[in-house]
């Protein structure tokens, strides 16, 4: 190893796995700063040139490009040319904390996958408060008591979505709007290992479901046959739940009255936006920035929080509730409404104070992005350029499952 890196300080180095790479040259052709090069043996990344823009990650057909090591001194390109396999991670304190969203490995992966749609390194809004992360781990969770469990879709509706309120009692559980908590259903898998942790977005503001209540609200959809969702949806008042977290360091509410916040969601993806709206209502009532929501469901009966949303004044929240399965009406998806509101959206996208948040199922991402791209075209902007700008400035956020 050479000593090109700053001595003493550990750095994160981008590497390519020579056992998986097929030498297709895609990364080298993609890299905007010429950091990728090759010899007859390997494709390698020059640590002195790589600026972590991540442009090379998604075009790589093999996944070999997505490798990282925390090192005290960067491996030179000559070192890397000679490799037949990647070196193991050295034991360096903090090396495992490389993922900033969470330091429990499985949760980190869940969040990384949920945020993948942002298309690069997710960045928190510049104005966001500093989050606490991972205060409670699996081996020492926070014990919460169920204070309420309410169905928030119509009684006859196929989809059973619930608002579950958990109180932490005397335990301080600090959260920000946009963060998630983890819950593992009790019991163990067939192989004896504990069940995987599921993440749920917090649907309440930082000061509690009830102001200063040290409690949180969660939005949970019952999935037929789903272990965790049925456990959560069946909770009764007084039951105890082991909670880990909080998690999430980038999908956070901008703490700025000038910020326009465009919230695009389906189903339980509305949870963080309920939190955002509540925070604005409580703490920034006369904010200059707009809150705009595009919320899609099959029918009004299946739209979580339909009733409470009717009571939110238009001066606080510009809501667009759209439905894809109302008989007699044309199908409408969130992307259709975004296009229909093109004039307003064009103005918002051109404004440097605007933040976009997308939350819901993975399937919605492409359609929403296409709609944003169309709005951009009509207003003399290029989404493929605007998006990386917004992302880098902490103004574009995706959390989809």
Partner 1 sequence: MNGSAAYVEGAVDYTTKIPNNVNLAEDGRVLKALEQWHPGYIDWWMSMGPEGFQASEVYLRTAVSIDPKGWAKFGHVKMPEYRWGVLLAPQEEGRLVNFGAHKGEKAWQEVPGEYRAMLRRLLVIQGDTEPASVEQQRHLGKTAPSLYDMRNLFQVNVEEGRHLWAMVYLLQKYFGKDGREEAEGLLERRSGDVDKPRMLGAFNEATPDWLSFYMFTFFTDRDGKMQLESLAQSGFDPLSRTCRFMLTEEAHHMFVGETGVGRVIERTCEAMKAAGIEDPFDIARIRALGVIDLPTLQKKANLHFSLSLDLFGSEVSTNAANFFNSGLKGRFMETKIDDDHRLTSAVYPVLKFIDGEIRMVDEPALTALNMRLRDDYVKDCQGGVNRWNKLIEKAGVRFALSLPSVAFNRHIGEFAGVEASPDGKLLTAAQWAKMRDQWLPSSGDGEFIASLMTPCWERGEYARWVSPPKVGVDNKPGDFDYVRIHAG
Residue of 175, 148, 144, 177 lying closest to 162 (CA atoms): 148
Residues 104-143 that bind partner 1 (CB under 8 A): 113, 116, 119-120
CA angle 192, 166, 176 (to 5 degrees): 100
Q: Which two tokens stand for residue 383?
A: 């989404």
Provide φ and ψ at 224, rounded to 5°: -55, 125
> Which three-class secondary structure state does DSSP give residue 98?
helix
**Contacts with partner 1: how many residues (CB under 8 A)?**
47
Judged by beta carbon, residue 259 or residue 386, the one nearer partner 1 is: 386
| Through-space distance between the first and last CA atoms of the chain, rounded to whole angstroms | 40
Binding-site member from 156, 224, 225, 363 for partner 1 (CB under 8 A): 363
Residue 55 within binding range of partner 1, rule CB under 8 A: yes
| Measured CA angle at 397 (ends 396, 401), to 5 deg | 150
Selected from 7, 8, 9, 40, the binder of partner 1 by CB under 8 A is 40
Q: Does 195 bind partner 1 (CB under 8 A)?
A: no
Exposure string over 303-314, b if 16+ CB within 10 A, otherwise e: bbbbeebeebee
Nearer Cβ to partner 1, position 59 or 87?
Answer: 59
Can residue 147 be called a binding residue for partner 1 (CB under 8 A)? no
Q: Which stretch binds partner 1 (CB under 8 A): 57-65, 147-155, 228-236, 300-308?
A: 57-65
342-349 vs 364-378: helix axis angle to the nearest 10?
80
Which residue of 59, 87, 169, 308 would you call a contact of partner 1, by CB under 8 A?
A: 59
Choice from 25, 51, 89, 240 touching partner 1 (CB under 8 A) = 25
Among the listed ranges 133-141, 166-174, 316-324, 358-366, the one in contact with partner 1 (CB under 8 A) is 358-366
> Using the rule CB under 8 A, is 98 a contact of partner 1?
no
Contact 49, 56 (CB under 8 A): no
- Chain residues in the site for partner 1 (CB under 8 A): 19-20, 22-26, 29-30, 40, 54-59, 61-64, 66, 84, 113, 116, 119-120, 362-363, 365-366, 369-371, 373-374, 376-385, 387-388
């Amino acid at each position: 190893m050479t000593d090109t890196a700053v001595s003493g300080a550990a750095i994160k180095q981008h590497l390519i796995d020579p056992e998986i790479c097929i030498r297709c040259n895609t990364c080298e052709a993609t890299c905007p700063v010429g950091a990728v090069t090759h010899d007859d043996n390997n494709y390698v990344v020059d640590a002195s040139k790589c600026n972590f823009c991540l442009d090379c990650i998604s075009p790589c057909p093999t996944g070999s490009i997505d490798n990282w090591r925390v090192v005290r001194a960067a491996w030179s390109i000559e070192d890397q040319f000679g490799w037949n396999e990647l070196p193991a991670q050295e034991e360096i304190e903090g090396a495992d904390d490389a993922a900033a969203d969470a330091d429990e490995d499985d949760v980190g992966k869940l969040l990384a996958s949920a945020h993948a749609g942002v298309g690069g390194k997710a960045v928190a809004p510049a104005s966001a408060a500093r989050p606490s992360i991972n205060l409670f781990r699996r081996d020492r969770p926070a014990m919460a008591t169920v204070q309420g469990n309410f169905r928030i879709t119509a009684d006859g509706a196929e989809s059973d979505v619930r608002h579950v309120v958990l109180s932490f009692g005397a335990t301080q559980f600090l959260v920000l709007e946009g963060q998630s908590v983890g819950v593992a259903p009790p019991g163990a898998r067939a192989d004896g290992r504990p069940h995987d942790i599921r993440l749920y977005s917090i649907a309440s503001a930082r000061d509690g479901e009830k102001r200063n209540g040290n409690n949180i609200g969660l939005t949970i959809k019952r999935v037929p046959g789903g272990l965790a969702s049925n456990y959560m949806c069946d909770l009764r008042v007084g039951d105890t739940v082991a909670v880990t977290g909080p998690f999430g360091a980038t999908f956070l509410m901008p703490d700025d009255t000038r910020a326009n916040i465009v919230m695009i969601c389906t189903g339980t993806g509305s949870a963080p936006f309920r939190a955002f709206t509540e925070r604005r209502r409580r703490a920034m009532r006369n904010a200059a920035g707009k809150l705009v929501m595009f919320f899609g469901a099959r029918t009004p009966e299946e739209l979580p929080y339909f009733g409470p949303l009717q009571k939110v004044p238009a001066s606080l929240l510009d809501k667009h509730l759209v439905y894809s399965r109302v008989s007699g009406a044309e199908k409408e998806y969130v992307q259709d409404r975004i296009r229909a509101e093109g004039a307003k959206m064009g103005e918002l996208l051109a404004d440097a104070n605007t933040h976009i948040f997308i939350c819901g199922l993975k399937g919605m991402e492409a359609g929403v992005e296409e709609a944003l791209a169309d709005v951009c075209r009509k207003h003399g902007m290029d989404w493929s350029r605007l998006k990386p700008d917004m992302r880098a400035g902490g103004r574009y956020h995706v959390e989809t499952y």
